[in-house]
Homo-oligomer: A and B are copies of this chain.
């Protein structure tokens, strides 16, 4: 599931952390983003209304994958809930698409994947978890049942790809009708997401969302001043079309079902008093953008010569591949044998790696997020 790819990368790293430092290095970026926002969750706990007598405080992590990267932040949140509302039970719902690996989620929560079987679920009393395997573009929880909703690096995924992008592979390079169609799809999806959450939240409830986006300086994932990652994807894929390794139709059919919203796009329905979202009681509390540096680039820079460009390329490209490969595979025609499709995509990432090894300057997958805090007011 493409929605999960980036988070799943985080997953693999979390699980592999027991093996040593190499993999924990690989998860640092996604976890840094959530740790950055841990204070926003604590602030949310401070603001929610007390639960009704005998009712739990409820949390949800939307687009949670295996729950690995958010586990520490959620633990801190529960501990804060226990301070503010002693003796209160806590219920946490993890959501993701149907094909998510929910077994990995529960094994993680139960501590089966850790050498030391300590997780918030095994350590803290009176905490209950469940999972909902349905996309977050629709209402997933009963009306007014949620105290704090959380989402990290998930809501850039669209419910569907509105059209092809003929001359690029991502909406950041789309123009004209394609750019407009992606923007419209994203605007509708964002309304759907916010209206669903407005129904789920109790009055006084909070949403904390860390979404991939485009910041005030036009920066976005893999485009923070150096080589543009998505332009590199597009150029290498286009070259393979020119060389007839893939067809022109396959190039056109390849597009990430994603949209990076600007802070204005994120905030618009929350500030326009006539919008359905505003009328449903959702209000903007805070919005800001932030960049979290690429851990691979940082490791290379900090090695100051002790790591070769080839070594950097070999460490860097697999992280791009982990969340983007499914998109390039799905662009290829089904008439090709599966092995052939995999061979083509192998060649594609080999070319990316060669390019980085030959000209390492400026390659980095920095994370650019919009950090949003919202509240549901009583109408």
* A54 / chain B contacts, CB cutoff of 8 Å: 143-144
Of the candidates B134, B141, B144, B145, the one whose C-beta lies within 8 Å of that of A110 is: B134
Tell me if B112 and A141 are in contact (CB < 8 A).
no
CA distance A55 to B105 in the complex (A): 28
Tell me if B132 and A89 are in contact (CB < 8 A).
no
Q: Which of A101, A107, A131 has the most CB of B within 10 A?
A: A131
* A100 / chain B contacts, CB cutoff of 8 Å: 103
Decide if A334 is an interface residue (CB 8 Å cutoff).
Answer: no
Q: How far is the CB of A193 from chain B (nearest CB, A)?
A: 17
Of the candidates B55, B93, B110, B133, the one whose C-beta lies within 8 Å of that of A103 is: B133
Decide if A305 is an interface residue (CB 8 Å cutoff).
Answer: no
* A55 / chain B contacts, CB cutoff of 8 Å: 142
State whether A131 and B128 are in contact (beta carbons under 8 Å apart), knowing that A98-B110, A100-B103, A107-B98 are contacts in the complex.
no
Tell me if A91 and B132 are in contact (CB < 8 A).
no
The interface residues of chain A, by DSSP majority, are classed as: loop
CA distance A179 to B126 in the complex (A): 35
Tell me if B134 and A131 are in contact (CB < 8 A).
no
Q: Per-residue 0/1 for A81-110: is the Cβ within 8 Å of any B Cβ (1 yes, 0 no)?
A: 000000001010100001111110111001
The residue on B at minimum CB distance from A104 is B98
Of the candidates B98, B128, B132, B142, the one whose C-beta lies within 8 Å of that of A56 is: B142
Closest 9 CB pairs of A and B: A106-B133, A102-B102, A98-B106, A130-B130, A56-B142, A130-B132, A89-B142, A131-B131, A98-B107
CA distance A93 to B107 in the complex (A): 18
Q: How far is the CB of A87 from chain B (nearest CB, A)?
A: 11
* Size bracket of the A interface: 20 to 34
CA distance A55 to B106 in the complex (A): 27
Decide if A249 is an interface residue (CB 8 Å cutoff).
Answer: no
* A103 / chain B contacts, CB cutoff of 8 Å: 98-102, 133
Decide if A129 is an interface residue (CB 8 Å cutoff).
Answer: yes
Decide if A140 is an interface residue (CB 8 Å cutoff).
Answer: yes
Tell me if B105 and A133 are in contact (CB < 8 A).
yes
Q: How many copies does the complex hold?
A: 2
* A101 / chain B contacts, CB cutoff of 8 Å: 103
CA distance A107 to B91 in the complex (A): 24
The residue on B at minimum CB distance from A133 is B106
CA distance A139 to B131 in the complex (A): 16
* A56 / chain B contacts, CB cutoff of 8 Å: 142, 145
State whether A89 and B133 are in contact (beta carbons under 8 Å apart), knowing that A106-B98, A110-B98, A112-B98 are contacts in the complex.
no
Q: Which of A91, A105, A107, A134 has the most CB of B within 10 A?
A: A134
Q: Which of A102, A134, A145 has the most CB of B within 10 A?
A: A102
The residue on B at minimum CB distance from A99 is B103
22 pairs from A and B in contact (CB 8 Å cutoff): A54-B143, A56-B145, A89-B142, A91-B142, A93-B130, A98-B103, A98-B106, A98-B110, A98-B112, A99-B103, A102-B102, A102-B103, A102-B131, A103-B133, A106-B133, A126-B142, A128-B132, A128-B140, A128-B142, A129-B134, A130-B132, A131-B132
* A133 / chain B contacts, CB cutoff of 8 Å: 102-103, 105-106, 131
* A98 / chain B contacts, CB cutoff of 8 Å: 103, 106-107, 110, 112
The residue on B at minimum CB distance from A1 is B103
* A139 / chain B contacts, CB cutoff of 8 Å: 128
Q: How far is the CB of A327 from chain B (nearest CB, A)?
A: 21
